[in-house]
């Protein structure tokens, strides 16, 4: 965003330093939650875990390929935020833009699915089950409503404010996984969640200072009327 001039950064400014340190902290916290396990702090909630572990070994080739694909996905997601921010400057209708995004995404997804599932017409059949409910939930809330809300917030606060809350999803997933899926809570997840929350606070604090300074610079002092002499008044009357 700094390269595309969507975000202004001054190294000597405290608010810019807070945004930089907050961004580094959120990324570091996400890596700690992913890579560091540590000792168990809390056992499974409610007894038996709902996750079934397979007895087979994990291939290193699949691990490397998965890591590369995740990296490409994160880079593409970041490019999408930048593209949406640039588009909103010329096309400020956030609701209409989210509709176009969902429409084009549906067309692209249908094209990819038709290629990957070629010769299997049974996959296109609609059944009243949990798969249909999850698809409707994903399309309505995770795509349509999410794109619209992030477009509205992006117009008001900028793309950095929107993307700063993305690592917070890992914290929410860890908490819900402990209560709903009866996962064990490890020390690494708790430390990573704390670092993410700290980095998020720094980024939001820096953005709030930017917004306050911008608002103060827009307000101008009123121009007081100057006193005119009698001769100037007579000249204007004539």
> Chain centroid to CA 176: how far?
19
- Could you read off the pLDDT of 179-219 as tens digits, one per residue? 888 888 889 999 999 999 999 999 888 877 766 665 555 44
> What is the chain's Cα-based Rg?
26
For the chain, domain boundaries = 11-44+184-204, 60-162
Hey, which residues does 40 pair with through a beta bridge? 186
Task: Say how far apart CA 183 and CA 161 lie, in whole Å.
Answer: 31
* pTM exceeds 0.75: no
Is residue 7 within 8 Å of residue 158, measured between CB atoms?
A: yes
- Could you read off the pLDDT of 136-165 as tens digits, one per residue? 998 899 888 999 998 898 888 878 888 888
- Could you read off the pLDDT of 48-64 as tens digits, one per residue? 655 555 555 556 667 78
Strand, coil or helix: 203: helix
- DSSP character at residue 2: T
């Amino acid at each position: 965003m700094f390269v595309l001039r969507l975000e202004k950064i001054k190294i000597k400014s405290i608010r810019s330093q807070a945004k930089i340190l907050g961004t580094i902290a959120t990324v570091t916290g996400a890596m700690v939650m992913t890579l560091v396990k540590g000792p168990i702090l809390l056992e499974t909630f409610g007894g038996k875990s709902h996750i079934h572990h397979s007895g087979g070994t994990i291939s290193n080739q699949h691990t490397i390929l998965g890591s590369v694909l995740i990296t490409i996905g994160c880079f593409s997601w970041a490019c999408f935020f930048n593209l949406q921010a640039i588009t909103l400057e010329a096309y400020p209708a956030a609701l209409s833009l989210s509709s176009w995004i969902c429409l084009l995404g549906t067309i692209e997804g249908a094209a990819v699915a038709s290629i990957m599932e070629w010769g299997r017409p049974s996959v296109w059949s609609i059944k009243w089950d949990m798969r249909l409910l999850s698809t409707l939930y994903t399309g309505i809330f995770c795509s349509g409503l999410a794109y619209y809300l992030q477009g509205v917030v992006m117009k008001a606060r900028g793309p950095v404010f929107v993307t700063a809350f993305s690592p917070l999803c890992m914290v929410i997933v860890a908490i819900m996984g402990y209560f709903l899926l009866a996962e064990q809570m490890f020390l690494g997840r708790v430390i990573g969640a704390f670092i993410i929350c700290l980095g998020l606070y720094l980024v939001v604090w820096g953005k709030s200072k930017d917004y306050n300074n911008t608002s103060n610079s827009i307000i101008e002092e009123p121009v007081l009327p100057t006193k005119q002499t009698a001769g100037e008044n007579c000249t204007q009357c004539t």
